[in-house]
Amino acid sequence: MESFLVSLSTVALAEMGDRTQFLSLMLAAHYRKPWPILGGVFGATLANHAAAGFIGARLARFLTPALLDAVVGVSMLAMALWALRPEALNEHPRDTRHSSAFMATLVAFFIAEIGDKTQIATVALAAAYANLAAVVAGTTAGMVLANAPVVFLGKAFAERLPLKALHYGASIVFAILGAMFIARALRHP
């Protein structure tokens, strides 16, 4: 249960103000069909984070427990710094007037998640926790949880979010997790 809750909260906080959240907002404004968009977010995140989790779990097999905890701790500290950097969506999705809201979201969201901080966090969390399914379920739920208000409430909600405070909050969560893993690494023989 710990792996699920840590994964959920880490990704939900990290996603606030992220480029994929802005992508959700753009898709919601374009299509005005929240359920297919949220379904696309879910499907893309599940596929993307399952692949990331698989990579993280495989990496964990080659590292000693102390080294693994140290690597995850340093990764989390890097994520804390990354969370302080506000993001903007630099790319506009292709003309999707003739495609469905679900497919447009699925493809655009999957591509936008590649190399994103939430995907990298998923790799680190999967390396840190033995329960891959719980990590992927947690990160996917965190992504959907963070994007659902944007998809359903659109621009009016997004403009009221205290993004700077959310970035600082996410950074603090990552820093705490990083410090916990580094402390655990130092306790290993």
pLDDT tens readout for residues 98-130: 458 999 899 988 988 887 889 889 999 999 999
CA gap 28, 22 in Å, rounded: 10
Name the pLDDT band for 90 (thresholds 50, 70, 90): very low
Residue written as tokens 């926790």? 129
pTM, full prediction? 0.73
> How would DSSP label each residue in 115-161?
T-HHHHHHHHHHHH-S-HHHHHHHHHHHHHHHHHHHHHHHHHHHTTS
pLDDT tens readout for residues 133-158: 999 999 999 999 999 998 998 756 55
pLDDT tens readout for residues 32-82: 889 999 999 999 999 999 999 999 999 888 878 888 788 878 877 887 787
